[in-house]
Structure 1
């Protein structure tokens, strides 16, 4: 197998991999006796890496940072590079659940409101009857120790954390040494969509790569800062701030599930 390739997108080392490659890496990660972290990068998280002190370092500490969204594709293309597959979480993460169901890998859900996470859990076991869902907990907790104890009691192979950026990545980094899990995947707003509490854009709009516009129209007050301010800012950083030189790629030696 070829080494895992990383693309430098505005200082964030984004992993260039396909769904098939990710699942192969997941198998490797589960075989190794230390926790592995999987984050995602999109225009919003890249913007946060400029505005939140230390967040870029937190992102780059992950074993994998997968590309989620058209913004990363545009940024890579502007550097003469190509991201082979856009792993949009809402489409991609159910495939991870399917794999976990078929391979007997127990999972745990953390994030969302009490209602959202309950419905997401119900949807998961309904869609994947063999899935070993050890438990779930909402994301509005104050007692981190109690949540960690609940997660660790089952020892999930895969922990899905959906607390929103930058909180979810920061929480994982702060608590990774206390987690009894093999792989931790941050999932953003996945539980909202998977639970059907938040509508997804029509398929034709998704094919046009305009799902962000649907989210903006659905919730303009909440999403305006991210899309009406954040998207132009990201594009300015990509196209107007000198990100037009050839992009360095960094193959990772030895293991494909390494930093």
Structure 2
């Protein structure tokens, strides 16, 4: 089992708060009864609780919430929150990148370690495909919306125009890049 698969086991719905509380309760109860046969079990429970908390913190749940789908990070944000985050980054003049992921990208990341590293290093990985939104719902994220690349781009352009933030596009032609409202 790889570290990534191990982290998935403890960061997804499988190891939720109820399981954590159950482990803590059983550990305390076992120590309180002072049963030597169960002492090792109690130590294991305490270790797993500590590990769960560590993975909870390492996976970034104190910052921006995310889930992993087939080992790839997907952030749980709406189009409006993603727009705000990108505009905040531009205000700080920090260099970042955002990936709009679909099922194909997730599977490419599964097959290619290099692509997986690039995808998981993104500052935001948003669910552009409905299959990812469906997967997130299976993982217990009921209110996640699809963040379409075109909608995010239009939202960013509208907000950037209001704030007088320059937006640059690379490639294509003037005919394609002309924006008409």
Aligned match of 1:57 = 117
Indicate the structure (1 or 2) with the bigger Cα radius of gyration.
Answer: 2
Secondary structure of the residue aligned to 2:169 is strand
Cα distance 1:15–1:44, how it changes in 2: closer, same or farther (>3 A)?
A: same
Aligned match of 2:175 = 119
State how far apart, in whole Å, the 2-side matches of 1:83 and 1:16 are: 9
Aligned match of 1:42 = 102
Alignment root-mean-square deviation, CA: 1.9
Structure 1 position 18, deviation (Å): 1.1
CA deviation vs aligned residue, 1:49-72 (integer Å, no higher than 9, x gap): 123341011011111111101110
Secondary structure of the residue aligned to 2:145 is coil
Q: Given the two structures, how large is their TM-score scaled by the length of structure 2?
A: 0.59
Aligned match of 2:146 = 86
Aligned match of 2:133 = 73
State how far apart, in whole Å, the 1-side matches of 2:92 and 2:70 are: 31
Structure with bigger strand share is 1
Secondary structure of the residue aligned to 1:66 is strand
Structure 1 position 79, deviation (Å): 2.1
Structure with bigger helix share is 2
Aligned match of 2:168 = 108
State how far apart, in whole Å, the 2-side matches of 1:21 and 1:93 are: 13
Gaps of 5+ in 2: 1-61
Q: How many residues align?
A: 120
Secondary structure of the residue aligned to 1:108 is coil
Aligned match of 1:179 = none
Tell me which of the two structures has the higher relative contact order, counting C-alpha pairs closer than 8 angstroms and 6 or more residues apart: 1
State how far apart, in whole Å, the 1-side matches of 2:143 and 2:169 are: 29
Aligned match of 1:6 = 66
Poorly superposed stretches of 4+, deviation over 4 Å: none
CA deviation vs aligned residue, 1:98-134 (integer Å, no higher than 9, x gap): 111111111111244xxxx322222x2x43xxxxxxx
